[in-house]
Structure formats: C-alpha cells, structure tokens
Amino acid sequence: MHQTLKNLYSGFAILLFLFLAIASNPSKKTFSNDEKWIPKDFDPAKTTLLIQKFRSSEKQQTKMEGYMEEKYPYKYEFVEMETIIDREGKYANTDIYHFALRITSHTTSYTNSNMVTSGFDFYFYDRANDIKYPATNKASSYIFTTFQPVINTILKKYE
C-alpha cells in the first residue's frame, strides 16, 4: 500500500511538472500591454521592420534570427544601431523602413549586497518622425526571453 501511494504521488508530480512546463512555454507567450508600446500606425504588412542586432551574444542573435525566419511572415532586416539612426544609403527611405525595433538595457544596483542585475528590453523607434516609443517593460536577463514574446505579440495583434 505504501509503495502504491508513493508511485501515485510520483506520477502526479510528473504530470504537474509537465503541465507547468507546457503552460509556461515561452514560444507562445505574449505581452498584454501592446497598446502601450506598439505604435498605432505600425503595420507589418506595409513596412520592412528593422531590428537592431544584438552584438553582446552571437548565440542570442542567432536565436533571434532563427525565430524571425520561422515565425515572422512580414519583411524585416537585422541591422546595426547606427544604420537605424543614420537613415542613409539602402535604409534611407522611411516609407519602406519606417519603424525599427531597438534594444534597451536596464541595470539595477543593490548597494547593500553589491549585486548588479541587468535586463534587456525592446522599444519601437519611428525613423520617419524621430519618435522613441516606450519599452515593453518586460525586460529579461536573456534578450531572447524578451524578444520572443515581443514578436508573438506583434503577430497576434496583426493576424
């Protein structure tokens, strides 16, 4: 009887773990505050979204590129931050390259414990009107952990 009860608890624990793992799957996660950070005049079908390259980690950059290739049906290009700001050459036409998704980082220091935390977030930048929109306020220490729901939120809004 004792062994049966133990097996039952183990089975329940495994099922609970699997349920939680599936329910918290970040590949489907979206942000509910999209009206605060997605520009009202952004339409992914009518513009090529420029996305700032993440130079701090080639692995994270590769994951971001792979995710866009797999999930994002609209036009986009990963470019350097300077390209987004300069508006010269190939990317000068702000009718085509109107919006950019830029990276911002947050650093928090705790003086008592000498602990420093940092997180990465994204915000839209209107290149035609030089407007910086608010960030998502959903920063994460791994840029891909924030990037994935940002893209999912855009896709959900424009399906």
- Selected residue with higher pLDDT from 7 and 141: 141
The predicted-structure confidence for 107-133, as pLDDT tens digits, reads as follows: 666 666 665 557 999 999 999 999 999
- Amino acid identity of residue 61, one-letter, is Q
Q: Is the dihedral of CA 13, 19, 20, 22 positive or negative?
A: positive
pLDDT band of residue 102 (cuts 50, 70, 90) is very high
pTM, entire model: 0.77
Mean of all residue pLDDT scores within the chain:
84
What is the reported pLDDT for 12?
Answer: 43
Mean pLDDT across 91-98 = 96
Task: Work out the percent of the chain whose per-residue pLDDT is above 70.
Answer: 76
The predicted-structure confidence for 126-158, as pLDDT tens digits, reads as follows: 999 999 999 999 989 899 999 999 999 999 999
What is the reported pLDDT for 117?
Answer: 57
Return the CATH number of 30-157, one of 3.30.300, 1.10.8, 3.40.30, 3.40.50.
Answer: 3.40.50
What is the reported pLDDT for 75?
Answer: 98
Strands 99-110 and 115-126: antiparallel
Mean pLDDT across 35-62 = 95
What is the reported pLDDT for 112?
Answer: 61
d(CA 105, CA 119): 6
**Exposure letters 84-97 (e unless 16+ CB within 10 A, then b):** beeeeeebeeeeeb
